[in-house]
């Protein structure tokens, strides 16, 4: 601190000499620094016109440059990006929808195919059953017919045999009578006797 | 000069580089003007070159530009609504100009244009001028409703209206002084502490050892000044947005 103030006081005349051309000690209300160096530089009105002019020029050009060149470009970049993002999101949503639809269609088809397969199986089963049934009935009918025929033939054979049994019995009886009695029994008598016995 | 090294005010001196005098006004191209040009050139070049590739996926520099753009856009939209977006180029220019000027001032030997009250006042007057001109253009005398809050009893108006007027009038002052004082005070403090380092180390071994403390302080202050530079640019832009909101919607 001590050193600082000493230097400041020493340099005061030199600084004054350097700046005498610009302005005098008009403002001295800011205290020690102002006294040592004339006006405190930020409050020196002599520099105001120049600073304001150059501020207006530089800031004006800066404003125009940003407005005409930089900001449309930056805004464009950001807009393009957000457009692209929404577009990509839309695309993704669309693709997801398509994928979902494909899955649904696939499942629907699968279900249809399953029911169809079941129906076909059932149909085949039924047809096979019906066929087997008709075949069975046919065979049964044939067998019944054969059975009937067989029974009929058995009956006819039986009748024939029975008939023959009568004649055999008659013959046998006539032979027995012949042998035992030695007389001839009339055929009619024997037949009547056999018949009465047979019944 | 040895004195310059420890004089904290020296950094604010205006030096004429190209003397220009028109109609009795001193309009010289000074170091202040040089740094205004530098500020504009650096900010423009950065914004222009970083976005020149127009990448869909931004690089680092393009990200910085986009962040600044969207930051200011959101700030303005929050404060003044979508109608306020017509002032977006203005607010963005102000923000970038103040930000780059503040940051540029942190470099040693560089002039800080925002440490001059006339520069910050010029910008603040531009803001308030825009508010007043646009306010009257859009709402006519309805803009004066700004000073008459709704739902206040007539009797209270006598008190409230002058307060509102004073608060409006003090806006350009507070807006400009806030930025100017922050930058000025910060740079003076920084210079004083750095000056201690120089002065102490001239005193021999003990002095060199003692100068560690102000050196550490100067380093810490530099970080603080970086924060202040960013914060003040933000504050300036935010307040601009709020004042512009008044121009758009005078009846609060």
What average pLDDT does the structure give for chain B?
90
Yes or no, beta carbons of B36 and A44 under 8 Å apart:
no
Yes or no, beta carbons of A55 and B122 under 8 Å apart:
yes
pLDDT exceeds cutoff 90 at A108: yes
Region label for B25, one of left (φ > 0), alpha (ψ between -120 and 50) or beta (otherwise): beta
Query: What are the residue boundaries of the structural domains of chain B, listed by start?
Result: 2-248
Per-residue pLDDT of A24-74, as tens digits, reads 344 433 333 333 446 788 888 888 888 999 999 999 999 999 999 999 999
Which of A41, A59, A70 lies nearest to residue B9, judging by beta carbons?
A: A41
Gap from A89 CA to chain B (nearest CA, Å): 16
* Beta-carbon contacts below 8 Å between A and B: 151
pLDDT band at B5 (very low <50, low <70, confident <90, very high): low
Query: What are the residue boundaries of the structural domains of chain A, listed by start?
Result: 159-198
pLDDT band at A199 (very low <50, low <70, confident <90, very high): low
Yes or no, beta carbons of B28 and A50 under 8 Å apart:
yes
| pLDDT number for residue B252 | 61
> Measured at the alpha carbon of residue A40, what is the angle toward residues B28 and B228, in degrees to the nearest 5?
90
pLDDT exceeds cutoff 60 at B217: yes
Q: What is the mean pLDDT of residues A12-22?
A: 41
Per-residue pLDDT of B80-115, as tens digits, reads 989 889 999 999 999 999 999 999 999 988 999 999
Gap from B209 CA to chain A (nearest CA, Å): 17
Helix, strand, coil distribution of chain A in percent, nearest 5: 90, 0, 10
| pLDDT number for residue A183 | 67
Cβ atoms B16, A51 nearer than 8 A: no
Q: Which residues on A lie below 8 Å from B9 (Cβ)?
A: 33, 37, 40-41
For an interface test with A, give the residue of B24, B33, B49, B185 to mutate (most A CBs within 10 A). B33
Which of A10, A41, A63 lies nearest to residue B13, judging by beta carbons?
A: A41
Residue of B nearest to A18 (CA): B15
| pLDDT number for residue B6 | 65
- What ipTM was estimated for this complex? 0.89
Please give the biggest Cα pair distance in chain B. Answer: 74
Per-residue pLDDT of A145-194, as tens digits, reads 999 999 998 998 888 888 887 778 778 877 887 778 766 667 787 778 77
Gap from A102 CA to chain B (nearest CA, Å): 33
Q: Where are the alpha helices (DSSP H) in chain B?
A: 2-6, 31-50, 60-80, 88-105, 117-139, 154-201, 205-210, 212-248
pLDDT exceeds cutoff 90 at B68: yes
Is the pTM here over 0.80, yes or no?
A: no
Per-residue pLDDT of B222-242, as tens digits, reads 999 999 999 999 999 999 999
| pLDDT number for residue A104 | 96
Residue of A nearest to B97 (CA): A59
């Amino acid at each position: 601190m001590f050193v600082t103030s000493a230097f400041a006081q020493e340099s005061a005349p030199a600084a004054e000499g350097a700046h005498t051309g610009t302005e005098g000690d008009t403002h001295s209300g800011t205290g020690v620094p102002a006294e040592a160096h004339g006006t405190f530089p930020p409050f020196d009105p002599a520099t105001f016109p120049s600073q304001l002019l150059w501020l207006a020029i530089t800031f004006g050009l800066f404003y125009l440059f940003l407005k005409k060149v930089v900001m449309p470009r930056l805004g464009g970049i950001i807009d393009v990006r957000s457009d692209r993002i929404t577009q990509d999101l839309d695309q993704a949503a669309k693709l997801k929808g398509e994928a979902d639809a494909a899955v649904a269609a696939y499942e629907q088809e699968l279900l249809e195919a399953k029911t169809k397969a079941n129906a076909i199986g059932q149909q085949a089963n039924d047809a096979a059953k019906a066929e087997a049934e008709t075949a069975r009935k046919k065979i049964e009918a044939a067998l019944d017919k054969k059975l009937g025929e067989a029974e009929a033939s058995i009956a006819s054979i039986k009748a024939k045999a029975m008939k023959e049994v009568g004649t055999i019995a008659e013959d046998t009886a006539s032979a027995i009578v012949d042998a035992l009695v030695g007389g001839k029994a009339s055929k009619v008598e024997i037949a009547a006797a056999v018949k009465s016995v047979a019944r | 000069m040895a004195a310059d090294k420890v004089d904290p005010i020296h950094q604010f001196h205006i030096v004429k580089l190209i003397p220009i005098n028109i109609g009795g006004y001193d309009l010289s191209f000074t170091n202040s003007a040089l740094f205004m040009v530098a500020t504009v050139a650096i900010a423009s070049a950065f914004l222009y070159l970083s976005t020149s590739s127009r990448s869909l996926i931004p690089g680092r520099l393009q990200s910085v530009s986009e962040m600044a753009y969207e930051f200011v856009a959101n700030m303005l939209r929050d404060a003044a609504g979508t109608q306020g977006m017509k002032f977006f180029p203005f607010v963005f220019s102000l923000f970038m100009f103040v930000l780059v000027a503040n940051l540029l001032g942190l470099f040693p030997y560089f002039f800080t244009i925002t440490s001059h009250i006339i520069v910050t006042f010029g910008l603040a007057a531009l803001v308030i001028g825009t508010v007043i001109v646009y306010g009257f253009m859009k709402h006519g005398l309805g803009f004066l409703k700004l000073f008459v809050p709704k739902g206040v009893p007539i009797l209270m108006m006598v008190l409230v209206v002058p307060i509102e007027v004073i608060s409006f009038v003090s806006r350009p002052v507070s807006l400009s002084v806030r930025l100017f004082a922050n930058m000025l005070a910060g740079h003076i403090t920084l210079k004083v502490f750095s000056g201690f380092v120089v002065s102490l180390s001239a005193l021999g071994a003990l002095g060199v050892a003692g100068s560690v403390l102000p050196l550490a302080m100067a380093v810490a202050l530099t970080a603080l000044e970086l924060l202040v530079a960013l914060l003040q640019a933000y504050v300036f832009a935010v307040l601009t947005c709020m004042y512009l909101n008044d121009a758009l919607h005078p009846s609060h």
